[in-house]
Amino acid sequence: MLKTSSISPQPVARFAPGLTGGYSGRPSSRAAATSTHTSDESPEFIAVSTSLRRLLLQAQVAGPLIPLANFEGEPGTGKHHLAQTIHRRSSVAHLPFRRQDARLWLATEPDMTDLSGTLYLDQADQLAPGGQALLLHLIKRLQDSFIPDFQLMIASHAGLRPLASQGLFLADLAFRLSAVRFALPPLRDHREDIAPITQALIDRICRRYQQPTAILASGALQRLLQHGWPGNVRELASLLEAAILESSSGVLTPASLTVASLSPARGSQTTGSQATGSQANPDSTSRSASAQTTSDAIADPLPADLTLDAVILQHIQRVLELNRGNKLRTARQLGISRSTLYRLLSGESTLRS
């Protein structure tokens, strides 16, 4: 549980897979039969704030019936997560949910006669004019001649109508996509949700690493509430994961939740065309940190011993140093098991003849 006295408990709306109505926690029999996700892979969409409750109600009413929907929001705010939630309630829940970069998928000249399930196309606001024309063709076909067992979801970081007004996006395409639009707010605009989202993320991260559930020490939640969260829930998940892996006591203190990227709220810097969403999957939270770690390690001078074993050992020691001696996180960033890490640190050769 969250150990803090600064925030009073508030009712939490949970939009779980297959809800039969309202915010009840009872899944329908159809959803139970068709869902192939585990609770950890498909966490509930949690909402305390009015804005997210309104969004969940919109998804509950319109989501299961629509063949086409647009999701707008900043990176790391949960567009993909909400789309998956709607997919699990739809008539195509028994079919695959596929996530593709719109630019890459349209560039492959896909077979539009073989579409089924839910297709989630991301980065639509980054499409070149040719890609926009192809997407418009697909949407016209979807709207003019019904495609059974198919649902198309389009995601963008920027608002499509403002882009169209600037001549950067096809107006016809923007209007068609805006008919059913889910605009997810940035985390800094619904701070009431930070506490329950934080608890849900802590539970998931601790389950993944098979650790006892961590708790927030006094003052820790207040620090999270004061942050501007430019990276939204993805940034929150990354910070919590790092703190949990580096903690030896399972207690997350304000000091352990302090990172160089912490910044004041930037609500005044956000325009209406940047409205975004809410809950991110923490599975990808260490990738950027890992990439930076690797870059820093490679930049170190080579050892006098240029054998492969010596170079690999130096790289491992550098990553371990950057992770403050945390072997679990070091192994995860290196893409190896902890047992392999221990073997390499003990001097065992990586070359086996």
Report if residue 274 sits inside a domain. yes
Instruction: Tell me what pLDDT residue 214 has.
Output: 93
Instruction: Tell me what pLDDT residue 130 has.
Output: 93
pTM over cut 0.75: no
Same domain flag for 234 and 126? no
Cα separation of 79 and 84, whole Å? 9
Question: Which H helix or E strand runs over 341?
Answer: helix 338-345
Report if residue 351 sits inside a domain. no
User: Which residues are paired to 122 by β-bridges?
Assistant: 101
Same domain flag for 334 and 293? yes
Instruction: Tell me what pLDDT residue 43 has.
Output: 60
Report if residue 2 sits inside a domain. no
Instruction: Tell me what pLDDT residue 318 has.
Output: 81
Cα separation of 211 and 160, whole Å? 43
CATH of the domain at 229: 1.10.8.60
- Report residues of the chain scoring pLDDT below 70: 1-43, 259-306, 348-353
Instruction: Tell me what pLDDT residue 173 has.
Output: 96
Contacts of 147 (CB under 8 A, 6+ apart): 67, 115, 141
What letter does residue 27 receive in the DSSP assignment? B
Containing structural domain, residue 326: 287-345
pLDDT digits (tens, 9 = 90+) for 28-37: 333 333 333 3
DSSP string, 274-318: G-------GGGTTHHHHHHHHHHHHTSPPPS--SHHHHHHHHHHH
Cα separation of 197 and 280, whole Å? 10
Same domain flag for 143 and 89? yes
Say how many CA atoms lie within 13 Å of 340 toward its Cβ. Answer: 12
Give the sign of the dihedral formed by CA 291, CA 294, CA 296, CA 298: negative
Same domain flag for 168 and 121? yes
- Which residue among 160, 183, 206 closes a domain? 183
Instruction: Tell me what pLDDT residue 304 has.
Output: 60
- Bridging pattern class, strands 13-15 and 45-47: antiparallel
Q: How far from chain centre, in Å, is Cα 250?
A: 24
Alpha helices (runs of H) in 129-275, residue ranges in sequence order: 129-144, 160-165, 171-177, 194-208, 220-226, 232-246
Report if residue 7 sits inside a domain. no
Q: How many domains does the chain have?
A: 3
Same domain flag for 305 and 326? yes
What letter does residue 42 receive in the DSSP assignment? S
